[in-house]
Structure 1
């Protein structure tokens, strides 16, 4: 697998520099995903706008979508990133392992969310009607379903980018063992 180089701060365009400055100030470094997206004058800005918008799903629900999609797409970089965000937002190692394995028992509502995400990804956008019905019966709304599909698309995009271009983990070793 070819590994494309990441854009370094000195090479970044003026348009993308604001994102590099933001992450340097906030995290002390640039996530490798952004270092790859910065090869394009427009992609980093477009992705940032998509990824950092308000949705009707809470942070844990977004993390669940990210972990499920990254697991199904076998994307080490994205799986590692979503696991890290999950841990930072209070998910235990056991809960993360359940999400990765597709066996969520710690929360019934999240179970139905993960099932629908799985069917949408595996079925290429064609979940079974009973799975959609269970999702809605669990208290989710049509707005939640639309926002979940936006999250699926967001994660699928980054899965494809990081796998196709060989984006290395931000922290070597990362969360590979989940727990």
Structure 2
């Protein structure tokens, strides 16, 4: 059970009800537990997350690239809620189960561009300091633009935020769990 008790979503009023209505539009009429808790506590934070997700959705990274990053960061952070979410969402973008497993383990997926993305994100997650010129050259050589490097950064930052909140809350997983 989640650590932070929230009232039933249907009882929300004001800014919380408004942001829940936004979530329902993009989540097939439901409000996932992460968004329910965040919207209850800080509706403006949930609105900021939704706005950032909109920026990414309209950006130049593919949906598969976005889910690759989100799944890998969630796995590295140890957020079981987000791993489950991004395995499910990754499948919805057409990523096969075996590829999602490879991404989670930072292993080769057989797609050189995706593997370069995984390697780059892992480098960002596991090291500190400025990346080497070679690291940046490698991701560019794989076909990622400088604008996409900014989108990768935003995706990582947004994912770390939701991972961190879920780890604090121990948010109940409301989708198929992943072993």
**TM-score surpassing 0.5?**
yes
- Aligned residue number for residue 40 of structure 1: 42
- Aligned residue number for residue 107 of structure 1: 111
8 A Cα contact 2:103 2:109, kept in partner? no
- d(CA) in 1 for partners of 2:173 and 2:165? 13
Query: Any stretches of 5+ residues in structure 1 without a counterpart?
Result: none
- Aligned residue number for residue 32 of structure 2: 31
Query: Any stretches of 5+ residues in structure 2 without a counterpart?
Result: none
- Aligned residue number for residue 53 of structure 2: 51
- d(CA) in 2 for partners of 1:71 and 1:126? 23
Structure 1 or 2: larger helix share? Answer: 2
Deviation string 1:13-72 (CA, Å, 9 cap, x unpaired) is 322313323444652421011111111132111111112222221100000000110010
- Aligned residue number for residue 120 of structure 1: 124
- d(CA) in 2 for partners of 1:111 and 1:59? 16
Cα RMSD after superposing both structures: 1.9
Give the drift of 1:96. Answer: 0.5
Q: TM-score, normalised by structure 1?
A: 0.89
Aligned residues: 175
In structure 2, relative to structure 1, the CA distance for the partners of 1:59 and 1:88 (3 Å cut) is same
Which stretch has the larger CA shift, 24-33 or 61-70?
Answer: 24-33
8 A Cα contact 1:112 1:131, kept in partner? no
- d(CA) in 1 for partners of 2:11 and 2:116? 45
Which stretch has the larger CA shift, 57-66 or 34-43?
Answer: 34-43
- d(CA) in 2 for partners of 1:94 and 1:125? 33
8 A Cα contact 1:16 1:45, kept in partner? no
8 A Cα contact 2:19 2:43, kept in partner? no
